[in-house]
Amino acid sequence: MSYERDLGANGISLSIRTWPGEHTRRVPVVLLAGTGGTTRDWETVATELCRDRIVHAVDLRGHGASTWSERYSIDVMAADVIELLPQLGSELDVVGHSLGGLVACKAAGATRTPVRRLVLEDVGVLHPRRPAMPTRPAGELDYDWEMVQQIRAEIDAPDASWPNILRAITVPTLAISGGETSFVRPAQVRELADAVATGTFTTIDVGHLIHENAPERFLRAVRAHLDQPTL
């Protein structure tokens, strides 16, 4: 059974969904969804992981029940998460998908954050690309479309500081590629794994939504990484 609550961080309210865990002998894990994703997207993954650890899923700024603001950036979302993490535990593992993975990179590389291990789901090194704004889906959305537009522009023309951000990540990091069927090129995911201090790379060739399209394979890879003993 999970429960929801709101926690303040960086001047806003973030919605957290927590699975308390049947047994909590392992380090708690924090789940950060991709663009447009909410805590509900992690139901299958969280239900499995909470067998032996506490699991927290977070609605990023502009998503779900978290604060929707006028301005968005990966930097400000990372600042939100950096202030949030110590409220969730003194030692945490973080799993980030897509945009959530980019946010997790900045959080993991910051000083004095409680991140122990990192999993990045279909997250690649950002390179400049031709802008191509997606079409807004019809109907009511549970995320702010203005957020999509602002973040997409930032991803199309990434900040030059990203190489330094990745080099600052010293925690063991697993980068999982969605393979050739994903719009994120596997070479860019491998490039990210090579850029961090201690990175490993694997492929689950099911497309960008790995945790949704192949949850059992995704969970095996995540558990194998998170459950390694800390040296």
175 part of a folded domain = yes
Whether the per-residue pLDDT at 231 is higher than 70: the answer is no
* CA proximity to 191, closest of 210, 209, 173, 214: 173
Phi, psi for 170 (deg, rounded to 5)? -105, -10
Mean pLDDT of 120-146: 95
Query: Is pTM beyond 0.85 here?
Result: yes
**Averaged pLDDT for residues 11-20:** 98
The rounded mean pLDDT for the chain is 96
Nearest to 170 by CA among 110, 228, 126, 81: 110
Tell which residue, 106, 231, 103, has the closest CA to residue 169: 106
In a domain, 45, yes or no: yes
Residue 101 lies in a domain: yes
Question: Which whole-number Å values give the CA distances from 58 to 79, 180, 203, in the listed order?
Answer: 14, 29, 25
φ, ψ at 64 (rounded to 5°): 50, -130
Write the single-letter amino acid at 6: D
Give the residue numbers spanning the domain of 144.
3-226
What is the structure's pLDDT at 1? 87
Secondary structure letter of residue 62 according to DSSP: T
Query: For the chain, how many structural domains are there in total?
Result: 1
Does 199 fall in a domain?
yes
| Nearest to 58, CA basis, from 110, 103, 106 | 103
pLDDT tens-digit map of 175-221: 999 999 999 999 999 999 999 999 999 999 999 999 999 999 999 99
What CATH number is attached to the domain comprising 157?
3.40.50.1820
Is 100 within the bounds of a domain? yes
Would 210 be classed as within a structural domain?
yes
- 146 domain-assigned: yes
231 located within any domain: no
